[in-house]
Amino acid sequence: MTIYNYTALKNNKEIVKGKIEANDLRQARENVRKLGFIPTRIEEEHLRGEAKEQVKAAKRGRVLKLSLQEKIDFTSTLQILAQSGIPIIESLLFIENDAAKLKIRLVAQELRRQIMNGGTFSDTIAKYPEQFGQIYIGLCKAGEDSGELEKTLERLLDLLNKQAAIKSKVIGTLMYPIFVICLAVVIVLIMLMFVFPVFKEMFDTMGKELPWITAKLMDLGIFLKTYWYYVPLMLGGVVAFIMFLFRWKPTKRKIDEIVLKIPILSDLMQFSNFSNFIAVLQVAYDAGVPIIECLYLSNLTLTNFILKTKIEEATGKVQQGQHLSSALRSTHVVPKMILFMIATGEQSGRLGDMLMQATNFIDKKLDNIIDVMTKMIEPIMLIVIGSIVLILALALYLPLFGSYMAF
């Protein structure tokens, strides 16, 4: 089928625009009339590049993976329509016709088709765990089972916005050092490839042995200038190797263990992980999900291997009948304030409220940690850049100082 853009009259006076799917132009006109509109203009939507691939994937019955922001947009619209009492099929039809992004429209289209064939919303998205994630699927299923899907979608939307905010904060904190490091690499390469070779003839005329740092950097600069095509390969290789270290389980496990021993980074890792963990735990608990299933869904958000393993052990203890606060305390990785709030919630029967308070506490703590890191990064970067400049300057001027001393 092909997607058509249409312009039509509603009630013979109001102009409406939208998109509709049909096999040909004639069928597109008939489909617009079935909507109760009088078509005035219909034309095929021209797609390019990635959009064409997305349409091909949708035609094969495959649901496309949404980014975090696209998932927020999809859930936000679905929640508003569900809260207004609009049935899920009509809500998906609205998203299919009026969503801003093609990918979201195609996802809504495929979900609507499957639900019309007899499935529920949660059962349909459960077929696509890679696209929606187990947390999204589990919460939607709990919402449908309890008859409160619109409330669950609202909680889920808050959770997605929270995850986006944390991601934005962490990325924003790392952007400055990454930019400085990239700039430093470019400057060093320019110095080695274009500046150092210029000084070679002058140093050769002195007839003296060069300091080891000057000789090494000079040789490296001449090598890079001669075999310049190796530079992007080397940089790409370094980036690929670093990414491999962070993804390969044995090295990732060791890196996660080391990070938890570094003072400021340890706090950032713990609170950023437990921010998502407690938020999902709170949303799932309020949605009526059993506590074991809550812990299972929450554990999916943990990215640190050590923390994930410890929480899995705690989940096993809760399954054996131990209180949640006691099981989490035995891991020795959960902040004490969070443990106190959970224990208070269990004793008072207000665990959901206390989990909400714990979420707010973690957010404030995480903001403070990020502020401290931001302030620390600037002097550290100055030291790094200053050290690089000092090494390059010494390499260039040590031979000159030596010749002056000889005179």
pLDDT for 1 equals: 58
The identity of residue 141, as a single letter, is K
Average pLDDT over residues 195-204: 74
User: 53 with 168, same domain?
Assistant: no
Q: Are residues 211 and 128 in the same domain?
A: no
Same domain? 205 vs 99? no
* Number of domains the chain is built from: 3
35 phi and psi, to 5 degrees? -75, -5
Mean pLDDT of 56-75: 72
Rounded distance between C-alpha atoms, residue 106 and residue 156, angstroms: 21
**pLDDT by residue (tens digit) across 217-273?**
888 888 888 888 888 888 888 889 988 888 888 888 898 889 888 888 888 888 888
Q: What is the pLDDT of residue 207?
A: 65
Does any domain span residue 308?
Answer: yes
CB neighbours of 144 closer than 8 A, spacing ≥ 6?
120, 121, 122, 152
pLDDT digits (tens, 9 = 90+) for 136-162: 888 888 888 777 788 888 888 888 888
Return the axis-axis angle of helices 68-83 and 102-116, rounded to nearest 10°: 50
In a domain, 157, yes or no: no
106: in domain: yes
In a domain, 156, yes or no: no
Q: Per-residue pLDDT for 52 more than 70? A: no
Answer whether residue 141 is part of any domain.
no
- 8 Å CB contact between 64 and 106: yes
Boundary (domain end) residue, out of 132, 148, 172: 132
Same domain, 389 and 307: yes
Same domain membership, residue 398 and residue 331: yes
Is residue 155 in some structural domain?
A: no
> Are residues 256 and 268 part of one domain?
yes
Q: Which residues lie across from 7 on neighbouring strands?
A: 17, 41
pTM of this structure: 0.67
Does residue 400 sit in the same domain as residue 363? Answer: yes
Condensed to tens digits (0 to 9), the pLDDT of residues 5-15 reads 888 877 777 78
Asked which of 29, 46, 63 is the last residue of a domain, the reply is 46
Does 28 share its domain with 56? no
Domain-embedded: residue 218? yes
Q: Above 50 in pLDDT, residue 57? A: no
Q: How far is CA 276 from CA 56, 291, 293, 294, 363, in A?
A: 35, 16, 16, 12, 10
Residue 333 is given by DSSP the state -
Considering the domain architecture, whether residues 119 and 180 belong to the same structural domain is answered as no
- 207 and 313, same domain (yes or no): yes
Dist. CA 20–CA 33, nearest whole Å:
11
Residue finishing a domain among 94, 111, 132: 132
CATH at 326? 1.20.81.30
Q: Is residue 139 part of a domain?
A: no
Same domain, 275 and 394: yes
Range of the domain at 7: 1-46
pLDDT surpasses 50 at 407: no
Phi, psi of 348 (to 5 degrees): -90, -5
Q: Are residues 275 and 295 in the same domain?
A: yes
Q: Which two tokens stand for residue 364?
A: 């404030």
Reduced to 3 states (helix: H, G, I; strand: E, B; else coil), residue 9 is strand
Structure confidence at residue 190 (pLDDT): 84
- Percentage of the chain with pLDDT > 70? 92
Is the confidence at residue 50, as pLDDT, over 50? no
